[in-house]
Amino acid sequence: MSSMSETSNLESTTFDHKRFLASTSTGAGVYQMYDYNSQPLYVGKAKNLKNRLSSYFRKTGLTPKTEALVKRISSIQVTLTQTETEALILEQNLIKSQRPPYNILLRDDKSYPYIFLSSNDDFPRISLHRGAKKKKGRYFGPFPNVSSVKDSLNLLQKTFRVRQCEDSVFKNRSRPCLQYQINRCTAPCVGFINNESYGEDVKFTEMFLDGNNQELMNTLAARMESASENLEFEQAAVFRDQIASLRKIQADRVVESEQGDMDVFGISQARGGFCIHVLFVRNGRVLGSKSYFPKEKLDQQKSEVLAAFLPQFYIANTHREIPAEVLLPHPVEDADIVADALAQLRSAKVIMKHNVRGQRLKWLQLANQSAEQNLISRVNNREKVQQKYEALQDALQLPELPARMECFDISHSSGEKTVASCVVFDEGGANPSDYRRFNINDITAGDDYAAMRQALERRYKRLCEGEGKMPDILLVDGGKGQFNVAKDVLSELSVNNVELVGIAKGTTRKAGFETLIVDGGNSEITLDSTSSALHLLQEIRDEAHRFAITGHRQRRDKARKTSSLESVPGVGAKRRKELLKHFGGLQGVKAASIEDLAKVQGISRNLAEEIYQTLRMS
């Protein structure tokens, strides 16, 4: 791969596109557009760079947003590639790393969950798995979310009773656990089932996860009849219950005759917004689905949005599983190039098609209908949010509609493990990806004012340094004291363009009787309990409260679960295990003398003294 870069004369106020295009290559490659602050604006690819870049500088026929983009261009850099496939992969890597504002950005680079069945254990374990597939065994999926995996695991646990416990728990059991008592495990940990019988349960589990439900039911029916003939009525009843469970699943789910692994895409457009819905089909079964709402940037049509979405969905996300087939609602540009790139990543052929029949057509129709319905729901929700924002603008007499709001809250238990939360609401409502938590340290226990000051200072120092977006409204949950702390912090940091609002509980401390502190603390407003503006503020306040409490509980529970032995130098996991096993628990270790500690395998006299002193101080 070779590269070439061209930039405009930065002293000029207008990008000299004629001079730039005169020396631009006609080969394939990627182009990057930058503004006058050298910040990326847009990344694109082209089979012919000169022709594609020339299209941005036509005198007529440009959309308003494309014209806005062109006006901001200060320089363009191009990178030549040997093939269009190379250009596509490079384009997606640049979009992922630079996140240009005029590109469609997919905020979904997490790995998807799988069901994992181990293969190197005498009694294999079935569990949820996410991340790299390094362990030996079979992986079933991907599933669209963790809840769908948990539902499947719960069903399998009831039906086939294959163990789901951690290996460390399994190897150290001396008697059956609660799962055996409630008939969700056969207790292989204590030898209540032999390898052969357990292996059958594992085989049935695999058949179910592979989608061979009819074959599985026939096998179970044959086993049930055989057990009845041999007068093994209890075993026959087990097979009967398993068949009943599978029949209920078939009644609740459409079982398809199609086979194969594929992702099915549907797309809908309404009022300037898009929804792309994906069905995940594996072994001919729909494992789940997910909707995405890419932001429209350049007055694009559905085919253009889908064409930009596909490479990001697969290529920019290294954790994504690429299926053998990709079904599309209509033709998209460069589908063959995308298919070639996916084939390289998958090391096997990938088929992308839109003209299908039978069950594949039904899946496409379902994906499109789901995209349409989800987009309507999203648009309606945004309209409701817009109405609340307008009501808040009127209530606070703001010159402009607020586009971004932040709210802070403090949570602790008698001063223990204090956590501050910051939640963010924008034009679409709650924006969890921008939420932040702050672990508060080095303050007097229970001092909420000091906790609020520390959280605000840490947050707004970063915002002042350009690490995030400054809000239009800062909402503080509390009375005059909390309000004044926030006011002082903003003043010290010279933050002048943020409207500070305090929301204080009324004398009854009931919802609907809150008092708003505004105008630098000089005025108070009491809104009607039916006010949309008040409902919005209550929603933000309650979300900040929930987020703070959740963080505090997690921090507190983690601290309480951490053994004080972990703080002793030289005492690792193995020695901790030996100590706890020898003395029967942490309390026994704490009560032991230095001589008793030194009797434990792996514990020297010096280390015993260190343990003794550390535990006395904790």
407 — pLDDT class (breaks 50, 70, 90): very high
356 vs 364: CA distance, rounded Å:
9
40, containing H or E segment: strand 40-46
Q: Is the pLDDT at 115 greater than 70, yes or no?
A: yes
Which spans in 253-331 are helix H? Answer: 302-314
587, containing H or E segment: helix 586-591
40 vs 28: CA distance, rounded Å:
21
Percent of the chain residues past pLDDT 70, beyond the cut: 89
Going 145 to 148 to 152 to 158, the CA torsion angle's sign is positive
pLDDT, greater one: 291 or 131: 291
607 vs 579: CA distance, rounded Å:
12
Residue 4: the pLDDT is 40
Residue 242: the pLDDT is 72
Per the CB < 8 A criterion, the answer to whether 108 and 293 are in contact is no
Residue 422: the pLDDT is 92
27 vs 137: CA distance, rounded Å:
46
Residue 423: the pLDDT is 93
Per the CB < 8 A criterion, the answer to whether 70 and 57 are in contact is yes
Q: Is the pLDDT at 410 greater than 80, yes or no?
A: yes
Going 257 to 259 to 261 to 265, the CA torsion angle's sign is negative
- For the chain, the C-alpha Rg in angstroms (whole number) is 31
Angle at 56 between CA 35 and CA 46, to 5 degrees: 95
Strands 273-282 and 75-80: unpaired
Q: What is the mean pLDDT of the chain?
A: 81
Residue 321: the pLDDT is 80
266 — pLDDT class (breaks 50, 70, 90): very high
Task: Map residue 483 onto helix, strand or coil.
Answer: helix
Residue 1: the pLDDT is 40
Per the CB < 8 A criterion, the answer to whether 115 and 209 are in contact is yes
pLDDT, greater one: 380 or 459: 459
Beta bridge partners of 46: 29
Q: Is the pLDDT at 6 greater than 50, yes or no?
A: no
Which spans in 295-357 are helix H? Answer: 302-314, 335-346
Does residue 331 have a cis peptide bond before it, meaning omega lies within 30 degrees of 0?
no
Residue 474: the pLDDT is 92
Walk across the sheet containing 29-34 and list its strands.
4-6, 75-80, 29-34, 40-46
Q: Tell me: the pLDDT tens digits for 232-251?
A: 777 778 777 777 766 665 54
144 vs 114: CA distance, rounded Å:
9
Residue type, 211: G
519 vs 501: CA distance, rounded Å:
8
In order, the DSSP letters of 156-221 are HHHHT----S-HHHHHT-SS--HHHHTTS---GGGTSS-HHHHHHHHHHHHHHHTT-HHHHHHHHH
Q: Where are the beta strands (DSSP E) in 505-602?
A: 515-518, 523-525
pLDDT, greater one: 69 or 63: 69
Going 474 to 478 to 483 to 484, the CA torsion angle's sign is negative
Q: What is the mean pLDDT of residues 382-387?
A: 79
167 vs 123: CA distance, rounded Å:
10
Beta bridge partners of 267: 276
Residue type, 375: L
Beta bridge partners of 42: 33
71 vs 65: CA distance, rounded Å:
10
Q: Tell me: the pLDDT tens digits for 558-609?
A: 665 555 677 677 787 788 878 877 777 777 788 888 888 888 888 888 888 8
Q: Tell me: the pLDDT tens digits for 141-180?
A: 777 667 777 877 887 887 888 888 888 888 888 888 888 8
Q: Is the pLDDT at 462 greater than 80, yes or no?
A: yes
CA nearest to 289, candidates 231, 211, 364: 364
Q: Is the pLDDT at 278 greater than 50, yes or no?
A: yes
Residue 617: the pLDDT is 66
Angle at 109 between CA 165 and CA 262, to 5 degrees: 80
Residue 326: the pLDDT is 92
CA nearest to 352, candidates 361, 343, 362: 343
Per the CB < 8 A criterion, the answer to whether 76 and 119 are in contact is no
Instruction: Note every long-range contact of 432-438, with CB atoms under 8 Å and residues 24 or more positions apart, other chains counting.
Output: 433/107, 434/468, 434/469, 435/547, 437/547, 437/548, 437/551
Per the CB < 8 A criterion, the answer to whether 280 and 288 are in contact is yes
CA nearest to 88, candidates 320, 353, 313: 313
417, containing H or E segment: strand 416-426
Q: Is the pLDDT at 252 greater than 60, yes or no?
A: no
Task: Map residue 603 onto helix, strand or coil.
Answer: coil
This prediction has a pTM of: 0.51
Q: Tell me: the pLDDT tens digits for 320-367?
A: 788 889 999 988 888 888 888 888 888 889 899 988 888 888 889 888
325 vs 260: CA distance, rounded Å:
8
91 vs 95: CA distance, rounded Å:
6
Per the CB < 8 A criterion, the answer to whether 116 and 139 are in contact is yes
In this structure, of 292-306, 411-425, 494-508, 542-556, the range with the lowest mean pLDDT score is 292-306
